[in-house]
Structure 1
Amino acid sequence: MRNLLAALRGRIEFKVLVAWLIVAGGLWGFVELMEVARDASPHGFDTAILLAFRTPGDPATPIGPFWMEGVVRDITGLGGTAILTFLTAASILYLLVARKPRAALFVFAAVAGGQVLSSLLKLGVDRPRPDLVSHLADVHTLSFPSGHAMLSAVTYLTLGSLLARIMPDRASRIYVICIAVLLTFLIGLSRIYLGVHWPTDVLAGWCAGAAWAMLCWLIARWVLRRGSNEGKSNDDA
């Protein structure tokens, strides 16, 4: 048994196994949440969480000090189309200048593919926005899944994994990934605070975004390992 486990460890790296678990878990979580989203009436979990962010008896007023709403708007902006597009374009341009076309293609495919997937999933479920509380941000699309949550997961996890490849030690790589996860979490939470998404919309966005980002990472890792120059340091991916 020990020899078998040792052989498996030699063939399957821990981080690759974790990535596959995230893909599988994300897909499972999204399917379960999609069933909740298709119900005609909102789930009790959604209602309770959404109201927890509002002053009791006044669903138009969010909890917290007067400056909190402005801070949350700034955070949610980090998951907006303009910011994510700029970060993606800047990263792709840098990779092209650094003569890493495979990595540039990886970033483009992951983020652009995530955008297309998010739009298709919204049309597939056709869930309206919450009407339980007032919206503190302008919204014009369908609710499920949260585009901000999904695309921030795709973009920041993709860029975080790419940046981690050049970090000099494990602690630095963990730090970069943690910052990417924290940004994704805060952006999703901001959408609930602003009342523009049900909590299950955000959870589904995180599930789909993380699964897509990890799937793209696995594919890119396999492709980049075959690049003569770009594939040399892929063991640090």
Structure 2
Amino acid sequence: MVVSAERRVSWWWLVGSSAVAFVLLVVLVLVRFDPLVDFDSRVSRATRSATLAHPLGRAVMSAITATGSTRILGPLAALGCAVLLAFRRWREAFFVAVAMIATVAIRLAVVTLIARPRPTDRLAPVASYSFPSGHSAASAAAALILVVVCRPLLRRRWSRILLYAVAGSWAFAVGLSRVALAVHWPTDVLGAWLFVLIIVPAVGLLLDRLSPGEGLRDHPD
């Protein structure tokens, strides 16, 4: 996968700014910063009440949240790698595999180290700790990877906009569903999104440095 010099600079800025924001958020979570705890509690109670008041909405949230599970995204990522390999897109396939594995593995380490408790009145079965959200991280990583891999293949501006809208809306919906089902605090989801904005671009930059050559290039609009 080849990243242009201009895009490489943008990616490094994205990684750096996201890392600063993520570290700040981690510190606030660890010290239990009162305004943040109050915000999380208020939003969690409000969304949980709204979900309980609308059974259909709860069913929709449950269906959406299932799409962010690694049990679904893992096989889909493997299928994507197989398709890319079939078309001899070696670097893209490697990027998909490494970015997804790194996101899941590093997130597991982070969530264990921070050990933040989940909301108590949950509306779905869960295990482990809360920050950052696993479903939110996996879906956001999948969405961002999809954009990175597919964007250079789309020559029309409208098709790129559609790609951004569909991928972004789905990742946002998964994050929203985790809060609506009271299995994560809102800042767990925010932390997951910031985490993905660090890991996925960093993997792309690292692989581009280690394996220069022909690969993904942006088509002109």
Same fold (TM over 0.5): yes
Does 2:199 correspond to 1:207?
Answer: no
Q: State the structure with bigger RCO (CA 8 A, min sep 6), 1 or 2.
A: 2
Match of 1:28 among 1, 5, 20: 20
TM-score after normalising by structure 1: 0.82
1:48 paired residue number: 42
> 1 CA distance for matches of 2:55 and 2:115?
34
Q: Is the 8 A contact 1:150 1:206 kept in 2?
A: yes
Aligned match of 1:19 in 1, 7, 11?
11
Of residues 128, 141, 165, the one that matches 2:152 is: 165
1:116-152 deviation per Cα after TM superposition (whole angstroms, max 9, x unaligned): 1110101110111112xx2111101111111111121
* Cα distance in 1 for residues equivalent to 2:176 and 2:10: 24
Q: Which residue identity does 1:44 align to in structure 2?
A: D
What amino acid is aligned across from residue 124 of structure 1 in structure 2? L
> What is the root-mean-square deviation in Å for CA atoms of aligned residues?
2.2
Does residue 39 of structure 1 match 2:31?
Answer: yes
Q: 1:193 aligns with which of 172, 180, 189?
A: 180
Moved more, 149-158 or 173-182: 173-182
Aligned counterparts of 1:89 and 1:113: Cα–Cα separation in 2: 14
Partner of 1:178: 165
Matched, 1:80 2:63: no
2:137 aligned residue (140, 150, 161): 150
Structure 1: unaligned runs, 5 residues or longer: 1-10, 56-60
TM-score for the superposition, normalised by structure 2: 0.88
Residue number in structure 2 paired with 1:8:
none
Distance of 1:139 and 1:98 partners within structure 2 = 39
Point out where structure 2 has 5 or more consecutive residues left out of the alignment: none
1:235 to 208, 218, 221: 218
User: Could you say which structure has the larger radius of gyration?
Assistant: 1
1:68 counterpart (37, 50, 57): 57
Structure 1 residue 225: Cα displacement:
5.4
1:54 corresponds to which letter in structure 2? Answer: R
Are 1:121 and 2:110 an aligned pair? yes
